Amino acid sequence: DAGVTQTPRHEVAEKGQTIILKCEPVSGHNDLFWYRQTKIQGLELLSYFRSKSLMEDGGAFKDRFKAEMLNSSFSTLKIQPTEPKDSAVYLCASSLAWEIEQYFGPGTRLTVL
């Protein structure tokens, strides 16, 4: 089975641009998570979907970050407008609703200049 897929693997953006990160969860998984990983903050949860419904939108990230799950096999994370402090690795993860373990994608490394 294919694991969690994320594209692109690397993204470089100018400050103020709009970028869209993509994620395909493990087939059949109902839960999908977006995390941001930085050296200072570690891993932070941005969004959580269960069966395509948004369960958590990450509070502090609301104003410029928007995650959507267009169907059960595809999700996007839009950052608009980008700021240099958004430079980080963005991880997508999925799990079955009744399982504990999350399966993570390889991440997208975003650099905002």
Partner 1 sequence: GDSVTQTEGPVTVSESESLIINCTYSATSIAYPNLFWYVRYPGEGLQLLLKVITAGQKGSSRGFEATYNKETTSFHLQKASVQESDSAVYYCALDLIASSSFSKLVFGQGTSLSVVP
Chain residues binding partner 1 by CB under 8 A are 3-4, 31, 33, 37, 41-43, 45, 48, 50, 55-56, 91, 93, 95, 97, 100-102, 104-107
Residue type, position 74, single letter: F
Shortest CB 40 distance to partner 1, Å: 8
Shortest CB 64 distance to partner 1, Å: 22
Query: CA-CA distance, 78 to 84, in Å (whole number)?
Result: 15
Q: E strands, the chain, where?
A: 5-7, 10-13, 19-24, 31-38, 42-50, 53-56, 65-71, 74-79, 88-95, 103-104, 108-112
Toward partner 1, which CB reaches closer, 13 or 92? 92
CA distances (Å), 106 to each of 15, 16, 24, 84, in order?
24, 26, 11, 22
Shortest CB 25 distance to partner 1, Å: 13
Shortest CB 52 distance to partner 1, Å: 14
Toward partner 1, which CB reaches closer, 12 or 43? 43
Toward partner 1, which CB reaches closer, 14 or 56? 56
Residue type, position 97, single letter: A
